[in-house]
Amino acid sequence: MTDVASFMHKYYDWAAFETFIKELYEADGDVVVERDVTEVDRYGAKRQTDVKITRRTRFHTFVTLVECKRWKEPVGRDRIDVLAASIEALGANKGAIFTTTGFEEGAVAYAKGKGIDLFVVRDLTPQEWGHPGRHVFFYLHTWAAEFQNVLLPNTQAISLVDENPGSIHINLLLDSGMAKDPDMDLFSVKTGSRGPNLIGLLGDVHGLILRNLGQTVDLIDGGKPHVLEVLAACEVVLTGTEYRQLRLPTVAAKLDRIQFGFVAHVTQSQFSFDRGADLDFAVVIEDFISEQRLVAHRWANDPGIRFHVPNPAENIGQDPFQNGMLFKTFLAPWVRLGDVEPDIHSVGQQLIRVFVDVVDGKPKLALRSEPLPKPAP
């Protein structure tokens, strides 16, 4: 069975692996790279080379002989001897062995003595891809909410005009523009000084309640797509602050508390993607002589191979992302719920109360939940 997380399965036989190594050297440019070369050495014997690289300058020719071993077992010292003999007999300057399985114990030190480079070509580890690996999946909860059935119990109104203003209408629609409207500012009932904006204050309340509810909902039904509706009874208590007078065109309204139903929708989504989906390949070339690593990759439908040195300290000190994590995002209070119908419903059994104070002109909010009062018999 093919491992879809591996690129090395593409080079399943010796011929494909040799062609791949040939392409790696061709990416250097200004070289002649030949595969499966047979030559007669200085002693009259025929010698076969998997990949031969020739680099010519104005005054010199530099030849490297490469053996490619797509084996199931590690490469032993005997292959180093064979390559060393070919280098000497063919008058080459350098030799290298590429494999996918590693080298036998002692082979690395022996190759150093012979001046032969040893490389292992392998797939990237999850750490080399970056956490959590090549394949990434996570869950997302997107929270949005609205106020409904807003009531202003115990509100006291003082008329600012001679005629009776009659019924009073206060528009408490959460709107980013109204959050900057000075007509919605609250005033001190003690000094008459201007305080925070009521709509901005309710926007802060909205965010506090929404995040509080978000902490109570974990992954739903194993991560399947769902839209959950959460209904909660809420109350904003203003009696702890002097900034609770709203000045309307005809009246000054002294607010006591604001009651409303809080309707929240959480949309559960799953995101899954393959970081290598658009790549023809991405592999690590590990140099066992210099102990350096090089990442080689090529985008699909792009003939060019790119190389870079991985940074081993990239993820040190970071809290790594793990597959299967649940992330939560909370939309601004000005975002409406839309027309999506929830398929799961939940009704809160507690009253969420937000107590308001104003410190240095800025609202300070405290949330407390308590059992809903029992209905009168």
**Is the pLDDT score of 2 beyond 60?**
no
Same domain membership, residue 192 and residue 341: yes
Same domain membership, residue 152 and residue 20: no
Same domain membership, residue 159 and residue 13: no
Same domain membership, residue 365 and residue 260: yes
Q: Is residue 224 part of a domain?
A: yes
What is the strand order of the sheet 46-56 is part of?
32-40, 46-56, 61-69, 94-99, 116-123, 279-287, 292-299, 306-308
pTM: predicted TM-score of the whole model, two decimal places? 0.77
Same domain membership, residue 172 and residue 26: no
Q: Is residue 297 part of a domain?
A: no
**Is the pLDDT score of 211 beyond 60?**
yes
Same domain membership, residue 74 and residue 199: no
101 is written with which tokens? 């399985």
Domain end marker among 93, 123, 153: 123
β pairing state of 251-254 and 156-159: antiparallel
Same domain membership, residue 253 and residue 169: yes
Confidence of residue 3 (pLDDT cuts 50, 70, 90): very low
Same domain membership, residue 142 and residue 51: no
* Beta strands, E only, 128-256: 135-151, 156-159, 185-188, 194-197, 226-237, 243-247, 251-254
CB atoms within 10 A of CB 165: 13
Residue 287 to residue 235: CA distance in whole angstroms: 67
Same domain membership, residue 161 and residue 250: yes
37 is written with which tokens? 């070369």
CATH of the domain at 33: 3.40.1350.10
Domain end marker among 123, 151, 181: 123
**Is the pLDDT score of 373 beyond 80?**
no
Q: What stretch of H or E contains 283?
A: strand 279-287
Q: Is residue 47 part of a domain?
A: yes
C-alpha distances in Å from residue 28, one per residue of 41, 53, 118, 271, 285: 27, 10, 18, 38, 15
Per-residue confidence (pLDDT) for residue 48, from 0 to 100: 96
Residue 250 to residue 309: CA distance in whole angstroms: 72
Q: Is residue 291 part of a domain?
A: no
Which residues contact residue 119 at a Cβ distance below 8 angstroms, ignoring those fewer than 6 apart? Answer: 96, 97, 98, 99, 285, 286, 287, 288
Same domain membership, residue 198 and residue 165: yes
Each residue of 242-280: pLDDT tens digit? 999 999 888 899 999 999 999 999 999 999 999 999 999
Q: Is residue 84 part of a domain?
A: yes
Domain end marker among 90, 123, 156: 123
Phi/psi zone of residue 149: left (φ > 0), alpha (ψ -120 to 50 degrees), beta? left
Confidence of residue 315 (pLDDT cuts 50, 70, 90): low
Which residues contact residue 181 at a Cβ distance below 8 angstroms, ignoring those fewer than 6 apart? Answer: 197, 199
How many domains is the chain built from? 2
Confidence of residue 56 (pLDDT cuts 50, 70, 90): very high
Residue 61 to residue 77: CA distance in whole angstroms: 28
Q: Is residue 1 part of a domain?
A: no
Q: Is residue 339 part of a domain?
A: yes
Rounded to 5°, the CA angle 128-134-138 comes to 120
Q: Is residue 279 part of a domain?
A: no
Confidence of residue 312 (pLDDT cuts 50, 70, 90): low
Which residue range is the domain that position 107 belongs to? 8-123
Using the structure block, give the residue that is written with the tokens 């027309």.
339
In this predicted structure, which of 81-90, 95-104, 105-114, 304-313 has the lowest mean pLDDT?
Answer: 304-313
Same domain membership, residue 97 and residue 203: no
**Is the pLDDT score of 1 beyond 70?**
no
Same domain membership, residue 352 and residue 235: yes
